[in-house]
Amino acid sequence: MSAMLLPRDPVWRWFLGTLISVPACLAVWWFYLRDPLLSALAWAVGAAAPLLWPETVLDLKMQGGQAWLISLVPTLTDPPRLFTPLPLPLNRAVAVFPLFWGFTLATPGRGLARRLLLGTVILLPVAFLMAVLTTQFHFSLFRTHVPALTLMPPSHFGMVLPDSPTAFYLWGVGRQLSVLVLPIVAPLLVWLGLHGDFIRNLLFARLTRRSVDAATRPAVTPPVLVAVDAMGQETVGQDASPDDSLEGSSSDDAVKEDSPSDSARQEDSQGEGSETESARQEDSEAGTAGRGISRSENVRSEIPGTGHAGEEYPPTGQSSREVPAP
């Protein structure tokens, strides 16, 4: 019953799966994994801070899920403060992980644990970079003391030279990218990078169709023709030309060309030909979801007159059948 409700199109199936898995991963992350990830990231930024901002940062502490940066920049207050705690939002930096997990869980294929682990490891420096960019902008805001984007500087001035307008703008762009854009784009890019076969076969099939066709096109692939003679007997031959068939026919509908799915099925049943093998290898790499599309493309490419991808075959009015996966 549940299989009937699922869409047949693998792209839509993936999309619906993502709609379920992403909120689920976000919930698990929020309730169970957020605090450990935040602590780890705060520890990493705190460890790198003396190298990145040696005269500005004293320490970075976590308190109740909130990271606090202890700044060494004295403030223009009476009496002057030697240390200034600056709130540092790091939630967005660690939100890249559940999004990536959600995408990956919805993607068919083998090695799920390996893909999850590898993607998480790749995203670790991205999250660190986001935290560093956010921290840098907060320092810049504190030093320059000019409202920027949607943020207001602290009420007290830091006793330090402000950043130049260009540097302030660039740090602002960095902050926007790290808080607003990278949390969305980074998991998507890592997911794209780790699921090349799925992407190529389903989402970006148009972009890469030529290379797929070239890789799977056999050297010589004449069409399979069936000639029906006057007695109604069928003659099947791979090297039969249409003219030859016409000579043996006695009526207008005596010659008929196999539909692409028929010829492909024959090849599949015989289990011969490099084209079939290469397509099968590609199918196994792409996973179950990619089979239909890559098989259809192979079939299209071997029919004369339908050489370029996307042309409808058989022509309008004839039924097109899906090639069964081997």
Q: Is 173 in the site for other proteins (CB under 8 A)?
A: yes
Q: Is 180 in the site for other proteins (CB under 8 A)?
A: yes
Q: Is 150 in the site for other proteins (CB under 8 A)?
A: yes
Q: How far is the CB of 286 from other proteins (least distance, A)?
A: 15
Q: Is 128 in the site for other proteins (CB under 8 A)?
A: no
Q: How far is the CB of 311 from other proteins (least distance, A)?
A: 7
Q: Is 122 in the site for other proteins (CB under 8 A)?
A: no
Point out which span in 11-19, 125-133, 222-230, 273-281 binds other proteins (CB under 8 A).
11-19
Half-sphere exposure of 166 toward its Cβ, with a 13 Å CA cutoff?
Answer: 0
Q: Judged by CB under 8 A, which of 85, 257, 309, 314 binds other proteins?
A: 309
Q: Is 152 in the site for other proteins (CB under 8 A)?
A: no
Q: Which two tokens stand for residue 91?
A: 């939630």
| Closest among 164, 174, 197, 158 to 288, alpha carbons compared | 197
Q: Judged by CB under 8 A, which of 22, 127, 240, 303 binds other proteins?
A: 22
Give the span between the Cα atoms of 222 and 220, in whole angstroms: 6
Q: Judged by CB under 8 A, which of 6, 19, 159, 325 binds other proteins?
A: 19
Alpha helices in the chain (DSSP H): 2-5, 10-28, 34-52, 91-94, 96-105, 112-144, 165-176, 182-194, 196-198, 205-216, 242-247, 260-270, 274-286, 291-301
* Cis peptide preceding 314, ω within 30 of 0: yes
Look-up: residue for tokens 């996973």?
Answer: 287
Q: Is 157 in the site for other proteins (CB under 8 A)?
A: no
Q: Is 105 in the site for other proteins (CB under 8 A)?
A: no
Give the span between the Cα atoms of 107 and 121, in whole angstroms: 18
Identity of the residue, 124 or 170, whose beta carbon is nearer to other proteins in the bound complex: 170
Look-up: residue for tokens 């705690």?
Answer: 85
Residue 107 amino acid letter = T
Q: Judged by CB under 8 A, which of 125, 159, 204, 322 binds other proteins?
A: 204
Q: What is the dihedral of CA 97, 102, 106, 109, to 10 degrees?
A: 20
Instruction: Please provide the DSSP assignment of 38-73 as one string.
Output: HHHHHHHHHHHHHHHSTTTEEEEEEETTEEEEEE--
Point out which span in 39-47, 188-196, 215-223, 291-299 binds other proteins (CB under 8 A).
188-196
Q: Is 320 in the site for other proteins (CB under 8 A)?
A: no
Identity of the residue, 173 or 246, whose beta carbon is nearer to other proteins in the bound complex: 173
Point out which span in 52-60, 135-143, 209-217, 232-240 binds other proteins (CB under 8 A).
209-217
Is the torsion defined by CA of 247, 248, 251, 257 positive or negative?
negative
Q: Beta strands 84-88 and 66-71: pairing type?
A: antiparallel
- Expressed in angstroms, the distance from the first to the final Cα of the chain is 24
Q: Is 102 in the site for other proteins (CB under 8 A)?
A: yes
Q: How far is the CB of 98 from other proteins (least distance, A)?
A: 8
Identity of the residue, 82 or 181, whose beta carbon is nearer to other proteins in the bound complex: 181
Q: Is 8 in the site for other proteins (CB under 8 A)?
A: no
Q: Is 135 in the site for other proteins (CB under 8 A)?
A: no
Point out which span in 127-135, 182-190, 220-228, 229-237 binds other proteins (CB under 8 A).
182-190
Buried b (16+ CB within 10 A) or exposed e, 113-130: eebbeebbebbbebbbbb
Residues interacting with other proteins, by CB under 8 A? 11, 15, 18-19, 22-23, 26, 30, 91-92, 95, 98-99, 102, 149-150, 169, 172-173, 176-177, 180-181, 183-185, 188-189, 192, 200, 203-204, 206-211, 308-311
